[in-house]
A and B are shown apart, each in its own frame.
Chain A
Amino acid sequence: MVSTSDPVGRSVMKLYLASGLVVAILMMLVGLAMRMSQAQWLSMPPEIFYELLTLHGAGMIIALLICAMGGLWFLMRRRITLSAPLAVAAWALIILGVVGVVISAVFGNYAGLYTFLYPLPFMGNWHGWATGVFLIGMMLINTGWMIWCFQMLGAVFRAYGGLRGAMGWNFVWRPKKFAAAGHKPPPPEAFPALVAGVDGLLTGMAGMLLGIALLVRWIDPRVLIDPLWAKNFTYFYMHAIANLIIYMLAAFIYVGLSYATKREYHTSKVFVIGWWSSLVFILTNYFHHLYMDVSAQPQILQYFGELSSYLTAIPVTAVTVFGALMLVWRSRTRWTLGAVFMYSGLIGWVVGGVGAEIDASVPFNVHLHNTLWVPAHFHTYLLGGCLLFILGWVFLLLESRSEHSTSKLVRWLIFTLSFGGMMVFLSGFYFGGATGVPRRYATQPPPGPLIAQFATIGAIIMLVGFTLAFFEGLRLRSNFSADRMLWPQDLKDKVS
């Protein structure tokens, strides 16, 4: 699974994973402080609450994105040439951007949120310079992201024969000719790489345009910007970035879950077509953020947004998740912590998807838009999906090389605390959303702080579970055997 003969590649992956996880942990603590404030167990003025919310949102997305970038980069480096210095340069730009965001929020009191919805960044209670530093920080992050996407896309093109080869075009439409010429389709993990590269660059360009427009406006207040145009671009960009994280982490499923179940996942026509549709849907889903612009937004886009958001579920459930379930069904999986985390992440993806599809239905959106239902579904995706995939990956790496193994008791304890606490925490959001509690409120309107208190307890339990996992990870790390073979020799079973 992970070759011991590529120390440079592994170092780059560790750089991304470690920095991403450190930022994630800090941001989870920030999130806990916010939920405690809403529970009225911690007192903070609204200025501070919204600064923390800005940090938490931007920080968590970037942290999980960095982890996904690092892991996918490493997986693809086993197959194609990827320059390590360029990957580190991209990482450095992103980290520099994160520093900018932190400075603007902590020292400049910037509280315009990670959606920086025009014209709010220019009409808040924070210092003017903080807006500029935040915007420059986001531009740096976007630049680093685009460099990574460019590198990934270029490598995939070179290795598999341009856009058509990387998409598996001839493999699907002319299979006999393709096979007769001795060609093989790209491996499964190359498709998340392709989609991240294409969609990342496309939306990155949109983010660049928006970022420059806002920066120019910051320097010269005479510049006009259309707020509806800005809103469309903001959501086109931010939705794709957030959505791409979990699609990139699908590569972890294809390689990591295969390893844990001792079966192989390989590219098939159904698989390829599923990824083609995801490539498109990731771009066209963003309209569901504008349902409540009932007159301003062109109506045809609303219909299109609902259809696209609905159909997204097809490739996810019928291809990736179903394929993963087939990998696991009656397999000889050893349910180590890594396998458990990886598998539970799938549940988070599907359950989060159900919450999302409900919200993506326009008549329901009237009752749920911008209530706590929205953070309910994306925390399910990011916490119950993405973070668990990342933890699963990290633990599979640790377990494969460690002489130690985790005892059954500790496994049960960590899983129950983490997953159980997470469910309690998330249900606070779902119940809040169902009772109409608005999102992004520093104080809790009726029915009061009770739901927030419940959620805070869940979050604390979950964090205890993660802390235990951290120490268990250190223990596994303490007894590494550098020469252990990592890739099972006797793979027989193929699943697609």
Chain B
Amino acid sequence: MKASNSTSRMITGGMVVVGTILIFGGSAATLSPLGMTSIPVHHLLHAAMTLGAGMVAIVLAARLPVKYSERSVWVVSAVLAPIFGLLLMWPSEYAYLMDHHGLHLLDHVGIIAFSGLAVFAAQAYVRGLGWPMLVMMVAMNAAAAGGFGVAPAPSALLSLPLSTVTAENMGGTSVLATAPTSLHALGEQVSQNMGCGACHRVDGTKGIGPTWKNLAGYPQKLADGTTEVANYQFLRDAILHPEHLQLEGFPPNRMPTTYGAMLSGPAHSDEHELNAIIWYINSLSDLSTPASQPPVPDAIKK
């Protein structure tokens, strides 16, 4: 700095004072009985602590004898310290730490130590690198407030029923516009709306997934060499929990697990659409029997 001696002493003193206040404030906050702040605010407070730690670190590093500068160990420390500091900011544990003041204090001391080390190491390595490192560390902690530990809730659109989203009230003459008269016809519509046909062809050819033609009631070869008949329970499990099934000739985990959530659970307690799909699969098989069919009749109840 080109400032005169007294100005630079004032600046240095100021940094030490402000830095110490921030460090102690950040540590003392862990012992206060105040309730949980939101996670983003919590991140910003961490950023303030980092600022304090960094300011003190720069002043300390200036006191380091020249012969210790330009050592590679400073570079390695400056890069590794922020990693450990970040690991001490584990958002899903914030609520736990708010109730355990001792651990919280230890956590903050750790953050202060690693932030300080990072900035100290930068300034020790080469004078002039300390300030940029401080700015980057503070910015990184503040940036965490934008999305680490917080996320928007799923859109309300997701809770709309399937029939609302795919409503034919906008006209059109496609097959999907006609009201189904049987459960298996509803199943055909639902499976088209949900895009099952992209992977499961109905013409007998093998696609990304097994064909639905002549599936119900037929024995299926599994990847472990055993065979199982595709009865109702098998088909139901295959749709709701595809991660548990691996057929021979298909890699594991190809089918997403999303369909399970869309077809079962509290909002679908009657499993109406699931049964419709399984009726549709049965309608494509010439070995369909009551064992492979759903326990409800193939009729639309009004």
Complex CA–CA separation, A222 to B254 (angstroms): 24
User: Chain B residues with Cβ under 8 A from A228's Cβ?
Assistant: 147
User: Chain B residues with Cβ under 8 A from A223's Cβ?
Assistant: 90-92, 148-149
Q: Is the CB of A143 within 8 A of B80?
A: yes
Q: Is the CB of A226 within 8 A of B151?
A: yes
Verify if A138 is at the interface (C-beta below 8 Å from B): no
User: Chain A residues with Cβ under 8 A from B148's Cβ?
Assistant: 209, 213, 223, 225-226, 229
Q: Is the CB of A85 within 8 A of B90?
A: no
Q: Is the CB of A163 within 8 A of B90?
A: no
Within 8 A of B (CB), among A59-83: 81, 83
Q: B148 to chain A: closest CB distance in Å?
A: 5
Complex CA–CA separation, A225 to B235 (angstroms): 35
Q: Is the CB of B87 within 8 A of A216?
A: yes
Q: Is the CB of A158 within 8 A of B126?
A: yes
Verify if A162 is at the interface (C-beta below 8 Å from B): yes
Verify if A45 is at the interface (C-beta below 8 Å from B): yes
Verify if B136 is at the interface (C-beta below 8 Å from A): yes
- Write the chain B residue with the least CB distance to A162: B128
User: Chain B residues with Cβ under 8 A from A83's Cβ?
Assistant: 72
Verify if A147 is at the interface (C-beta below 8 Å from B): yes
Complex CA–CA separation, A163 to B133 (angstroms): 13
User: Chain A residues with Cβ under 8 A from B80's Cβ?
Assistant: 143
Q: Which of A45, A162, A206, A227 contacts B127 (CB 8 A)?
A: A162
Q: Is the CB of B140 within 8 A of A143?
A: no
Q: A157 to chain B: closest CB distance in Å?
A: 5
- Write the chain B residue with the least CB distance to A227: B151
Q: Is the CB of B151 within 8 A of A150?
A: no
Q: B245 to chain A: closest CB distance in Å?
A: 13
Type the 1/0 row for A463-476, where 1 means its CB is closer than 8 Å to any CB of B.
00000000000000
Count of chain B residues with a beta carbon within 8 Å of a chain A beta carbon: 40
Verify if B143 is at the interface (C-beta below 8 Å from A): yes
User: Chain B residues with Cβ under 8 A from A109's Cβ?
Assistant: 251
Q: Is the CB of B144 within 8 A of A209?
A: yes
Q: Is the CB of A220 within 8 A of B70?
A: no
Q: Which of B75, B91, B128 contacts A150 (CB 8 A)?
A: B75
Verify if A153 is at the interface (C-beta below 8 Å from B): yes
Q: Is the CB of B83 within 8 A of A225?
A: no
Q: Is the CB of A125 within 8 A of B253?
A: yes
User: Chain B residues with Cβ under 8 A from A154's Cβ?
Assistant: 70, 75, 125-126, 129
Complex CA–CA separation, A109 to B137 (angstroms): 35
Given contacts A83-B72, A157-B128, contact A220 B86 (CB under 8 A): no
Type the 1/0 row for A103-131, where 1 means its CB is closer than 8 Å to any CB of B.
00000010000000000000111100000
User: Chain A residues with Cβ under 8 A from B150's Cβ?
Assistant: 224, 226
Q: Is the CB of B254 within 8 A of A226?
A: no
Type the 1/0 row for B82-99, where 1 means its CB is closer than 8 Å to any CB of A.
110011001110000000
- Write the chain A residue with the least CB distance to B257: A123
Type the 1/0 row for B241-276, where 1 means its CB is closer than 8 Å to any CB of A.
000000000011110100000000000000000000
Verify if A337 is at the interface (C-beta below 8 Å from B): no
Within 8 A of B (CB), among A155-174: 155, 157-158, 162-163
Q: Is the CB of A46 within 8 A of B92?
A: no
Verify if B45 is at the interface (C-beta below 8 Å from A): no
Within 8 A of A (CB), among B59-75: 70, 72, 75
Q: Is the CB of B128 within 8 A of A163?
A: yes
Q: Which of B87, B253, B256 contacts A126 (CB 8 A)?
A: B253
Verify if B219 is at the interface (C-beta below 8 Å from A): no
Complex CA–CA separation, A78 to B274 (angstroms): 71
Q: Is the CB of A151 within 8 A of B83?
A: no
Verify if B132 is at the interface (C-beta below 8 Å from A): yes
Q: Is the CB of B86 within 8 A of A209?
A: yes
Verify if A146 is at the interface (C-beta below 8 Å from B): yes
Within 8 A of A (CB), among B93-116: none
Complex CA–CA separation, A226 to B144 (angstroms): 10
Verify if A193 is at the interface (C-beta below 8 Å from B): no
Q: Is the CB of A125 within 8 A of B252?
A: yes
- Write the chain A residue with the least CB distance to B147: A229
Complex CA–CA separation, A202 to B252 (angstroms): 40
Verify if B76 is at the interface (C-beta below 8 Å from A): yes
Q: Which of A143, A208, A224, A230 contacts B149 (CB 8 A)?
A: A224
- Write the chain B residue with the least CB distance to A126: B253
Q: Is the CB of A150 within 8 A of B78?
A: yes
Q: Which of B72, B128, B149, B251 contacts A89 (CB 8 A)?
A: B72
Q: Is the CB of B83 within 8 A of A212?
A: yes
- Write the chain A residue with the least CB distance to B72: A86
Verify if A47 is at the interface (C-beta below 8 Å from B): yes
Verify if B14 is at the interface (C-beta below 8 Å from A): no
Given contacts A125-B251, A143-B79, A154-B75, contact A205 B140 (CB under 8 A): yes
Complex CA–CA separation, A155 to B126 (angstroms): 8
Type the 1/0 row for A313-346, where 1 means its CB is closer than 8 Å to any CB of B.
0000000000000000000000000000000000
Q: Is the CB of B251 within 8 A of A206?
A: no
Q: B275 to chain A: closest CB distance in Å?
A: 27
Verify if A39 is at the interface (C-beta below 8 Å from B): no
- Write the chain B residue with the least CB distance to A154: B126
Q: Is the CB of A224 within 8 A of B70?
A: no
Verify if A201 is at the interface (C-beta below 8 Å from B): yes
Complex CA–CA separation, A46 to B78 (angstroms): 42
Within 8 A of B (CB), among A182-229: 198, 201-202, 205-206, 208-209, 212-213, 216, 220, 222-229
Q: A340 to chain B: closest CB distance in Å?
A: 38
Verify if B167 is at the interface (C-beta below 8 Å from A): no
Within 8 A of A (CB), among B8-52: none
Q: B residues engaging A (CB < 8 A)? A: 70, 72, 75-76, 78-80, 82-83, 86-87, 90-92, 122, 125-129, 132, 136-137, 139-140, 143-144, 146-152, 208, 251-254, 256
11 example contacts (A-B, Cβ-Cβ < 8 A) are as follows: A47-B254, A150-B78, A157-B127, A205-B136, A205-B139, A206-B140, A208-B83, A208-B86, A213-B148, A226-B148, A233-B147
Q: Would you list the 7 A-B pairs with minimal beta carbon distance, nearest first?
A: A229-B147, A226-B147, A154-B126, A125-B253, A224-B151, A162-B128, A212-B86
Q: Known A-B contacts: A198-B132, A224-B150, A226-B147. Give 5 more (CB < 8 A).
A: A143-B83, A154-B125, A154-B129, A201-B132, A220-B90
